[in-house]
Structure 1
């Protein structure tokens, strides 16, 4: 494990994920995901903003340790990548590339991500300020201010572009105390992302997810 100073907790808006590619997005094979932001990951970062990756293993990925939270992960931390899949490959890759760099055990890593999902409640925070996923344009500054008021600190906003080349709300970066004792903290640094002054907040519902193929159900679960 490398030395780091804080965590980036990253959430993704699935409506933007679906709108940025002709492939669209697919319904997981496990259960319908929540119509909300999805957890993407918890990343160990240095004060300079460098995200640690591919650290020496302290624990191999063993999905049997996560079975007790599989339904919750499938709702809040799902893979809607096509073809339809059960999310295990995504969680395994995240652990191998990022989770091993934290000071957390495997089950603790995913538990912390789910707790932050509940505590931050990003979609509700935006709705309190009249910012809803209705496909309209919103001022980027208003989105940042709404989240700052509800969460307590400045966040980072990453944009993607849809098929028409329009910028849209894609990911939210929140800085988290390394020890989790104080939760959200002022960011030592935030990544720079290109966005326009106004960005789309695309709609999302599970009916948008295609059922066009599945992976082999015998995905590798243990290394």
Structure 2
């Protein structure tokens, strides 16, 4: 048992999917897992463990932003033995060719700051996905004919951003989308020798202003979850 997760020993699977929203964790567990059971609800951060195609899987909320994600990723790996962490979440598109509901698979995650920045001091660490997971996710998306984009994303440490100049620079340099967690997830996984990937559904568009409803954000991301599950076990 850790400070923020009260699951019993053995309740957390080695493969963990991490949506930011705890209610998305509940929806995904009830939709995709066989015999899901609640294993954590400390501070309302819901976690469920069940099986997918006979494989143990935990789906656990991570909260919003890198500090919250860092807490859960560290404790899941350090205290519960998780070895594969896949973020499933929403993002904002930053390229014209990307549409709402497209899937982005994050190869790298640029950022201004993460909770781990103090560890590296003068080093600009480059957070990157696990290659077997990345390759397996791209293959899973291709087999489903899902409109998918693979490349770099931006992990922001603020939601209400007032840096249009920075957004323009990132768009010009090919950044596909913006979210708030992946850079720290990739860093924590690297620190502990675990595997990490972010598979994201485009919920809004920074260039057009288009956006999905909150209900669609919570329950409409089935393809993303299926790709994440297929990738987690195809990459073993």
TM range (shorter): under 0.3
Higher RCO (CA 8 Å, separation ≥ 6 residues) = 1
Specify which structure has the higher proportion of strand.
2
Q: Calculate the TM-score normalised by the size of structure 1.
A: 0.28
Q: Calculate the TM-score normalised by the size of structure 2.
A: 0.27
